[in-house]
Structure 1
Amino acid sequence: MLKRLSSVLLVCALGGASAVTYPMTVTHTAGSTTLPKKPVRIVALGPHALDLLLSLGVQPVGYGEASTFLKTPAFGSPIRDIKYLGSRITGSPINVGDRFNPNMEILAALKPDLIVGEDYAAPVYPQLSRLAPTLLFKGIDRNEWQKTMLVLAQALDRTQAYNTVLKAYNKGVQDTRAKLAGPFRNKKVLVVWTAGGDAKYTYTISGRSDWTGGLLNDLGLNVIDGDKRDQVISIEGLVALDPDAVIVLAAGTSTPARARTDWNANPLTSRLRATKANQVYYFDYHLFRRIRGPIAAQLIERQLLNAVPR
């Protein structure tokens, strides 16, 4: 009889340290998938999946990402550099193409026994499933990665690694929270991102219920939502909110340095109390919003501690 997994059963399995047996059936966003044996050759579609797999000690044989984030975007070739996560990779994963619509021929040639991605790849899920067992997950909400990693840990027989990662994550959050308590005490913090270029004075709000705002809130920052999460606002909207501190994430064609220049070049931002108090901080959207895993959280904590005077 196939072993069917759910979040509840997984928690029980972790607590009871029961042996993992195959075949097993895993429930995920796109449905239920049976793993006939312990996966060894695994493809990660996107930085979120890659972070979770690397955190569990899994080195993927293939990786899919938007070409704009790869220095060697040639499909079918080994990836030489993966931003923020490359130092954790010991092998030479093959570039399988776009993370939401990968090259099926390249995938087939890798002969994977598991493909892991996000639910954005749902349109090609049938094709992926014909090549190998495929698991798709959500990952944009606060602490959702922990649920996903729990499922992956059980599916890959790495529950001890999961426990170790979660313990280290919680300790990192507690330590960073204590160090940031002074600079952000009683401060309302607004987190926004901007794509630069023609949209350099348009901002989108990251709320406390998404991954970024949730992590920062756990780190002791009182993240405010404005009117609502993902609301697009102008500089006039920022002035109306007038937060005590602002975290600006540079996306698209922007960079943290450009975002700082654009911010300082506009006279309206000088009205903000955050600007007057020198509490506007600039970071990379890719790290703060796209990866969404324990490795990214650790790197974010380091950047915050380096950027914020204490």
Structure 2
Amino acid sequence: MYKRSLFTALLLGTSVMAAGVTYPVTIAHNNGSTTLPKKPLRVVALGPHALDLLLSLGVQPVGYGEASTFIKTPAFGSPIRDIKYLGSRVTSSPVNVGDRFNPSLEILLSLKPDLIVGENYASPVYAQLSRIAPTLLFKGTDRNEWQKTLPLLARALDREQAYSNVLKAYNKGVQDTRAQLSGAVRNKRVLVVWTGGGDDRNTFTISNSQDWTGGLLKDLGLNVIDGDKRDAVVSIEGLSAIDPDVVIVLASGTNTPTRAQADWNASPLTARLRASKAKQVYFFDYHLFRRLRGPIAAQLIERQLIKAIAK
């Protein structure tokens, strides 16, 4: 009965208070199931999403793979000391193993990890990764998906109490932020888009309420507008047709919030939008709002939203 309750709770993403994990333990994930023969002590994080989850559980990685070539990192095999948004929480000087899609197998092997944690982006090399160490790959781009992943990861790492604490803190943060934002966004239609700037400065991709970003903002009380399909792309004229009350613009690629704001203000079409006239257009970093996708990212996003919107 206990095993059945435990399995059900993990699938639902609820907390399970156990005396401790007995190894070996088998964890289901995106690429099947993986058995861990012992408690992992040397863990590699492939991507900022995996790093967010591990740090939230109090686990410091021995290796780290970044998400994008747009982010400057030291040479493969060198320690990374400057990780965007999460660096202040990293104390282990993890080695750069490459990127989350196709990390260096040679460097991974040299680290002798007990566990590799990543996203389904690494699925094409899952077999090679699994020959180096037990590997867990999770999907994390959909709304509230980390709440399903984190209890599984916590069980793999024997960190179930930490997971319980993380979930309580997250729920409190959502409630508090929702209350602080309610006056500024109540009954307003909010459009969340991202743009790479440059030649693409007049092209915008819509983040809807079922992806991680739009889902978090919806949980925070924002009435997020969906496009006609997932990741729908619109022009400035398309923005005019939607004419939202509030716009959140995420600067992606080599773009920055400052440049995105300058491009927005330079266009006579965006100036005519209801949100522009009401001075309710806000500019943030895509990397924080869409790549980390975990409880730490949620906390950092909440702080930025409160500072920008709840004036």
TM-score by length of structure 1 reads: 0.95
Q: Is 1:286 matched with 2:259?
A: no
1:7 and 1:251 map into 2 onto residues whose CA distance is: 38
Q: Which amino acid is the alignment partner of residue 278 of structure 2?
A: A
**Counterpart for residue 100 of structure 2:** 99
SS state at 2:69 partner: helix
Q: Give ranges in structure 2 of 5+ residues lacking alignment.
A: none
2:225 and 2:310 map into 1 onto residues whose CA distance is: 21
**Counterpart for residue 51 of structure 1:** 52
Deviation (angstroms), 1:299: 0.5
1:278 and 1:112 map into 2 onto residues whose CA distance is: 50
**Counterpart for residue 152 of structure 2:** 151
CA contact (8 A) 1:189 1:223 kept: yes
Quote the sequence identity (%). 76
CA contact (8 A) 2:10 2:148 kept: no
1:40 and 1:23 map into 2 onto residues whose CA distance is: 14
SS state at 2:265 partner: helix
Deviation (angstroms), 1:19: 3.2
Distance 1:6 1:77, change over 3 A: farther
**How many equivalent pairs are there?**
308
**Counterpart for residue 10 of structure 1:** 10
Runs of 4+ in 1 over 3 A off after TM superposition: 3-7, 11-16, 66-72
Q: Is 1:90 matched with 2:91?
A: yes
Q: Is 1:305 matched with 2:273?
A: no
Q: How does 1:201-216 map to 2 (within 5 A)?
A: 201-216=202-217
Q: Which amino acid is the alignment partner of residue 174 of structure 1?
A: Q
CA contact (8 A) 1:60 1:93 kept: yes
CA displacement, residues 81-108 of structure 1 (integer Å, 9 cap, x when unaligned): 0000000011110000111101111000
Distance 1:263 1:5, change over 3 A: farther
Deviation (angstroms), 1:308: 1.3
Q: Is 1:134 matched with 2:122?
A: no
**Counterpart for residue 200 of structure 1:** 201
1:63 and 1:49 map into 2 onto residues whose CA distance is: 9
Deviation (angstroms), 1:229: 2.7
1:5 and 1:293 map into 2 onto residues whose CA distance is: 25
Deviation (angstroms), 1:227: 2.0
1:289 and 1:62 map into 2 onto residues whose CA distance is: 22
RMSD: 1.8
Q: Is 1:81 matched with 2:115?
A: no
**Counterpart for residue 32 of structure 2:** 31
CA contact (8 A) 2:170 2:299 kept: yes
Deviation (angstroms), 1:69: 5.2
Of residues 159-168 and 227-236 in structure 1, the stretch that sits farther from structure 2 once superposed is: 227-236
Q: Which amino acid is the alignment partner of residue 127 of structure 1?
A: Q
**Counterpart for residue 19 of structure 1:** 20
CA contact (8 A) 2:117 2:136 kept: yes
CA contact (8 A) 1:250 1:256 kept: yes
